[in-house]
Amino acid sequence: MNASQQKVVQYLNEALASEQALTRVLQSQIAMTPRGSYRSGLETHLGETRDHAARVGRRLDALGEGSNPLIAVVGFAENAIGQALALGKTPFDLLRGSGGEEKVLKNAKDACATEALEIATYTALERLARSVGDDQTATMAASIRADEEKMLGRIMREIPKLTEAVVGADVTGNGSYDVTTTGAADAVRDAGEATKNAARRTTSAAKRTARRARKVPGVARVEGQAKGAVASAGDLAIARYDSLTADEITDKLGELSQIDLAKVDSYERRNQNRTTVLSRIASLRGDEPWAGYDELTAAEVQTALSEGDDERAKQVRAYERTHKNRAGVIKAAEREHSNA
Domain count for the chain: 3
Please state the φ and ψ torsions of residue 229, each to the nearest 5 degrees. -65, -25
Q: Determine how many CB atoms are found less than 10 A away from the CB of residue 143.
A: 13
The residue among 284, 309, 330 that closes a domain is: 284
pLDDT of residue 206: 44
3-state SS, residue 34: strand
> Is 191 found in the same domain as 134?
no
> Is 327 found in the same domain as 276?
no
∠ CA 195-200-202, nearest 5°, is: 90
Instruction: Tell me the CA end-to-end span of the chain in Å, nearest whole number.
Output: 48
> Is 154 found in the same domain as 39?
yes
> Is 149 found in the same domain as 49?
yes
pLDDT tens for each residue of the chain, 340 residues long: 688 999 999 999 999 999 988 888 888 888 889 999 999 999 999 999 999 999 999 999 999 865 444 444 444 444 444 444 433 344 444 444 357 888 899 989 999 999 999 999 999 999 999 999 999 999 999 999 999 999 999 999 999 999 999 999 888 888 888 777 887 677 656 655 654 555 455 445 444 444 444 444 455 566 666 666 767 888 898 999 999 999 999 999 988 888 888 889 889 988 899 999 999 998 887 777 776 677 678 888 888 777 667 788 888 888 888 887 788 888 888 887 777 5
∠ CA 267-269-271, nearest 5°, is: 70
The residue among 137, 170, 203 that closes a domain is: 170
Helix 100-131 to helix 3-32 angle (10° resolution) is: 170
> Is 195 found in the same domain as 260?
yes
291 occurs within a structural domain: no
Contact 33, 102 (CB under 8 A): no
289 occurs within a structural domain: no
d(CA 22, CA 249): 40
> Is 247 found in the same domain as 164?
no
∠ CA 53-55-56, nearest 5°, is: 65
> Is 166 found in the same domain as 39?
yes
Domain span holding position 238? 179-284
As beta bridge partners, residue 182 has 34
Report the CATH number at residue 142.
1.20.1260.10
pLDDT of residue 83: 41
Which has the closest alpha carbon to 224: 258, 271, 190, 273? 258
